[in-house]
Amino acid sequence: MKEIKIGIIQQHNVADIKNNIERLAENITNLAQRGAQLIILQELHNSLYFCQTEDVNKFELAETIPGPSTEFYGELARELGVVIVTSLFEKRAPGLYHNTAVVIEKDGSIAGKYRKMHIPDDPAYYEKFYFTPGDLGFHPIDTSVGRLGVLVCWDQWYPEAARLMALQGAEILIYPTAIGYETSDTDEEQQRQREAWTTVMRGHAVANGLPVIAVNRVGYEPDPSKQTGGIQFWGSSFAAGPQGELLFRASDNEEEGIIININIDHSEQVRRWWPFLRDRRIDEYGEITKRFID
């Protein structure tokens, strides 16, 4: 049985970037000492979620890859002997920026990176102002703990992204995330949104016969412009098995550092029972690449 011990860090971020990084390092160390082999961080984990407003000064938060963060987390990975999935604001060139997940191997090297492909643009989530859509495609990243299908936040709503990762041999789907409630929504609407978020990724697990890990931030972050009431990030980080079964779901309002045991070999058995990949009608899917079929 191939089992991976996966650590997830659901954290509430503050304006002090140094404080955020120090707490992440402390939690990474704690999870590694408890036996985690793979540790997954939330989306844009070094800072507050700066996309609530369109502010050119926020581009100062971006950094090159390789750069300071890959060096810092790389050294941590090497010292602790763990693989770390990070999420960074990448400065590729002047005026060209991406929302990029970087996977750090346990020897401290960069195993690979994924640039977020689907970029939202909604009130309090003005990501198109900051991020150019990714151009690296949907490709898993090979590591010492397995082949990781790393996607980022808004990608989680798109079954095509999960499928393409699965078709290239991903053993697990991973989603660093930053998503929360609009404070003006009713309690009922907020819960519908949170459950939809969980359900769609559990669907990706079922449709592809793969485990899914989603790691979200938690806590309230104000809107600097005061045009909205800010975002209450709903946490609820979770792990689902290849039949969509919930293996763990974190609190919706507390920080957590948890280790989840994932049996990678179980996916093989599930795919034998439910051979969805065998029965795909690939000869009839050509129009899926169209924006809309009139």
Give me the active site residues, please: 43, 116, 153
Q: What are the angstrom distances between the C-alpha of 37 and each of 4, 25, 121, 236?
A: 7, 15, 35, 22
Q: Largest alpha-carbon pair distance within the chain?
A: 56
Q: Which residues contact 175 (CB under 8 A, 6 or more apart)?
A: 151, 152, 153, 155, 156, 201, 212, 213, 214, 215
Phi/psi of residue 85, nearest 5 degrees: -100, 115
From the list 253, 219, 218, 259, the residue with the least C-alpha distance to 239 is 259
